Structure 1
C-alpha cells in the first residue's frame, strides 16, 4: 500500500505543478489585459480632458484676441466693416480669420482678408497686416494705391499742418464717370473743424460717412511727407450702426471708443490708441475733424467743386448702382 502511494506522489506533484503554471499564466494575462484596459481608459480620459481644456482655454483666448480688433475697427477704416470671425484651434494655439468689406451707400465691396495667430501663453493676437497694404501704381507722377483684392482705389489724405509737394484733386474726374455709379471720395480740409461745423459746411445731398480726426502731435508731422493712407487714420463712422441713420456718432462717443481701445488687452492697438487719444483731446476745442469721407453719385459729388475749405480730394472705391 505504501509503495502504491509513493508511486502516486510524482504524478500528483507533476499534475499540481502544471495546473499551478496554467493558473499563474491566466492570472498574468488577466493582469496584463486589465492594465492595458485601464491604461487605455485613462489615456482616453486624459486625451478627452486635455482636448476639452485646450478648447476651453483657446476659446477664451480667441475672444480676447477678437475683442480688440472689433474695438479698433470703431476708430479706424473708412466705410470698412468686419465680417463674422472664424476660429481654428490646434494645440495651445489657434488662428482667427475674418474678412473686411466696404460699404458704399447700400452696396458691398469685398476688401480684405486677415489671419491673426494667437496662443494661450501670450493671451493676445499677433497683429498681421492683410491686403490693406495695397498695390502702389505711378499715375502721372503721383503715387496711387489700389486694393489688391477688389482692384479699387484707396483714398489718400493730407494733414492741414503739413506742406506737401503736391496735392491731388480728383473732383474733375467726376465729369468722366458714369451716372449709374456710387462713388467714394476722401476730402482733406484746410484746418480742423468741429463735427457740427462740418455738417453745416457740406452741401445738401452729400453723404458724409466717415470723419477723419486729428490724432497727430507736432513731433509726428513733417513737411514734404507723403500723403496718408486711409487705413492709417483714426476717425469714426457717421452712425454707430451699419445701414442705419438713427444713431449718430458724436465726438464724445469717438473719444470713449478711443479710451476703450487704449485699455484693451492688445498692446499694439492700446499703445497707438493711447497716443491718438492724447492728440485728439488736445484738438477737441479748436476742432478735431480735419477730413471726411463722402459717398454719392457723380452729380451729387459735383457740388463739392470750388469749395475753399477742401485742400485735397482723392477718389476711393466705386460700385455700380444696379
Structure 2
C-alpha cells in the first residue's frame, strides 16, 4: 500500500519570496546592529584619540622643557598649556627671565608650538628680533643691536673666544650711566674656554651668574661663524648652556650638579622624538676621545649675569672678559 508523501517542492515564486524575506530580515539585523555598535565605536575612537593627543602633548611639553634647560640663555619656563584636537594640537609655553639676587622675574616672550597625534613637534613659532640698519662695516653689521619683538628689550649676543673680532662691545663700561635702582642683564664672553669650577671661582662673589654658555659648536658651524666674524645671538639655534644654581628661585632637588644635569638632559633628549638632531650635534661637538660625554668635556666660554649696575661693575677690567652686551634693563626692582 502506497502512502502519500508530503510535497515539499516550491515553485520559483515561493522560493524568491522566501529569499527576499530572509535577506530583508538579515539587512534589518545588520542595520540594527550597526546603529547600536557605531556610536560605541565612535565614542571609543574619540576617547582613544583624545587620550593619545593628551599623552602626546605631555611628551612634547617635557621635551620642550628639557630643551629649554640646555639652551635659551637666562630663559626659564613658568607654565605650559596645551590645546588639543583629534590629530594633535597646540602648546603655549610662557617664559620669564631672572634678574638679580632677589630673583626678580621679568616676563619674556611665549613659545608657541604645534604637535602631531604621535607626539612630534611639527612647528615652533620662533620670533624674529627687530634690528636697525647701521654702518655697512662687516664688523659692525654683525653686531647690530637687536630688540625682542614681544617685549621690546635688547637681545644679548656673545663673542666666541676662537674668533678674532675687529670690534668688541664693552657694555660693562656703560653701567655707570644707569640708575642705582636698575636691574641689568648682561652677556659676558670669555677670552678662552674654562672648566666650570675654574670660571666660577673667577667671578666676583657679588655677581650673580644666571646662565653658563657651553662651547658646543661643531667644526662646520665654527667655520661658518669664522668666515664672517659672526657673533652668536642669544636666540640662536646654535647656542647651548645651562641655568645656574644661583638663578633658581626654588632649590634644586636633583642630587646632580649643574654640569651633570646638563649632560643628563642631553642624553635624555637624544632618545626623544623631538630635538634629536640638535642634541646629537651638541653631543658630537662635546664628546671626548673616549666616546663618552663626561663633565671634563664641558667647557664654559661665556655667561649671563644680572644685578644692579653697582654689582656688575665688579666685572670691570676683569682680564678673562673679552666682550659684554646688554640684555634686559629694568627700572623695577
Regarding TM over 0.5, the answer is: yes
Q: Note if contact 2:242-2:262 (Cα within 8 Å) is conserved in structure 1.
A: yes
CA distance in 1, matches of 2:107, 2:175: 23
The runs of 4+ residues in structure 1 deviating greater than 3 Å are 34-44, 138-142, 244-250, 281-287
- Residues 283-294 of structure 1 aligned to structure 2 (within 5 Å): 285=296, 288-294=299-305
CA distance in 1, matches of 2:188, 2:244: 15
CA distance in 2, matches of 1:251, 1:305: 27
CA distance in 2, matches of 1:172, 1:241: 24
User: Does residue 206 of structure 2 align to residue 205 of structure 1?
Assistant: yes
Which residue in 2 is equivalent to 1:172? 173
Q: TM-score, normalised by structure 1?
A: 0.80
- Residues 153-172 of structure 1 aligned to structure 2 (within 5 Å): 153-172=154-173
Q: Note if contact 1:111-1:147 (Cα within 8 Å) is conserved in structure 2.
A: no
Q: What are structure 2's unaligned runs of at least 5 residues?
A: 1-23, 289-293
CA distance in 1, matches of 2:248, 2:32: 58
CA distance in 2, matches of 1:153, 1:113: 16
User: Does residue 232 of structure 2 align to residue 228 of structure 1?
Assistant: yes
User: Does residue 129 of structure 2 align to residue 134 of structure 1?
Assistant: yes
Q: Note if contact 1:240-1:249 (Cα within 8 Å) is conserved in structure 2.
A: no
User: Does residue 48 of structure 2 align to residue 53 of structure 1?
Assistant: yes
Change (3 A) 1:287 1:45: closer
- Greater Rg over alpha carbons, structure: 1
**For 2:271, which of 247, 263, 275 is the aligned residue?**
263
Change (3 A) 1:287 1:272: closer
CA distance in 2, matches of 1:193, 1:129: 34
Q: For residue 102 of structure 1, give the secondary structure of its aligned residue in structure 2.
A: strand
CA RMSD of aligned residues (A): 2.7
**For 2:310, which of 299, 307, 312 is the aligned residue?**
299
Q: CA deviation at 1:286?
A: 7.7
Which residue in 2 is equivalent to 1:117? 114
Which residue in 1 is equivalent to 2:195? 194
Deviations 1:86-133 (A, max 9, x none): 22122322222222222213222222222222222x5311241322x3
Q: CA deviation at 1:212?
A: 0.4
Q: CA deviation at 1:38?
A: 6.8
Q: What are structure 1's unaligned runs of at least 5 residues?
A: 1-27
Q: CA deviation at 1:183?
A: 0.7
Change (3 A) 1:87 1:40: farther
CA distance in 2, matches of 1:183, 1:293: 10
CA distance in 2, matches of 1:58, 1:80: 27
Q: For residue 327 of structure 2, give the secondary structure of its aligned residue in structure 1.
A: strand
Q: Note if contact 1:213-1:280 (Cα within 8 Å) is conserved in structure 2.
A: no
Which residue in 2 is equivalent to 1:5? none
Q: TM-score, normalised by structure 2?
A: 0.78
CA distance in 2, matches of 1:308, 1:116: 42
CA distance in 1, matches of 2:231, 2:320: 18
Change (3 A) 1:261 1:35: closer
Aligned residues: 288
Which residue in 1 is equivalent to 2:279? 273
Q: Note if contact 2:210-2:246 (Cα within 8 Å) is conserved in structure 1.
A: no
Change (3 A) 1:312 1:102: same
User: Does residue 249 of structure 2 align to residue 243 of structure 1?
Assistant: yes
